[in-house]
Structure 1
């Protein structure tokens, strides 16, 4: 993995975090974060996404097919929010488009393991935040809004425990104990899978194996059952000599199996 590709991924990650802050920020609470500044950031992101789209369109072999497959990208770069009161909605559309610009982040979101962890984590955080908000509101001045409760749930689940907000009711403390106990294993699982995905992504060679996988993905999307049968035959051949496969070949085998399974579903 080249330094510049790693640098690009980090820039996109920081851009996603920064733009997410702008989505949820209230300009009225910040003297320097004005609506004018946010509009300039929106315009800069539109220009970046537009340039990136035109570059990929220029490099695409089949331009009509590229346009059909990337219709969402076109919506993300149209400045609807400058014409209609759709700023918050369009920013969410652009944050998704920005995630797609990063192969690493998009692969994390498309990973079955990571999606299961995200889903479980979202359910736990939303449930605990809502429950502790209902239990503590009126009894505890620390929980003024549901956002305060969500912040407390995140801090408690990660076992950071800032102490700026804490429950005082028995029910709230039971929820806190549950989050602390489950958070140890949950965050450990999340970070372990994220680190493994990160290392696999950056250490996998971007040569023949990646090219083979991209070709297989392309063919699975547009070829008939004959090609799928051929791929299944190749998978069986790989399985028969699985003990001799290299790490990159093994990863390619797993990804091919996952594609075949999704195609059947």
Structure 2
């Protein structure tokens, strides 16, 4: 029984990997959209409706995986980000935390998906981090007497910050805005480090074929065999006890 559950779980995981990644990106953009563009009440309600629909899909995926995974406690500890996303209510004070959690989950999903295309992964994460950081800093800085009062200003600031250029013509003045700046600075260093390592690996080791997927498949088969052996041993022990 456990063997079939694990196989079904991995099939579901492979099937939902790309759709859930796309939905996470759409959700992040929807969170920022009303903050950077003035929209009518009808459009805002539509955005919130789409957000609830995406949340329902997240919840359905989580419940399905939880049902199929044999070790429930291990599932909860290894999928804590998914649990937070589903259980976190749509309250404005928690939106920043929710955005950060979904961004982290998007990073993990895209890292697995692009494990053989590191350059694509770095490019995708760079665009997401810049767009989201620009939206967040605009929320905190707009109308505070600083130099960032439009999304164009925020986007320019985010690009110059993540590339470590830092012209200094646009900068946050509020504590929350500076917190976003610190996050973006450290993220920029990380992404540029990944980019440098990826380019170096391309020239130094361009003939080596990635084998991560093959190793993953072998581990999945090994885990299925272990579960099957456990089931057989349990069944054998039950027969011996009955005798």
Query: Taking structure 2 as the reference length, what is the TM-score of the superposition?
Result: 0.43
Greater RCO structure (CA 8 Å; 6+ sep): 2
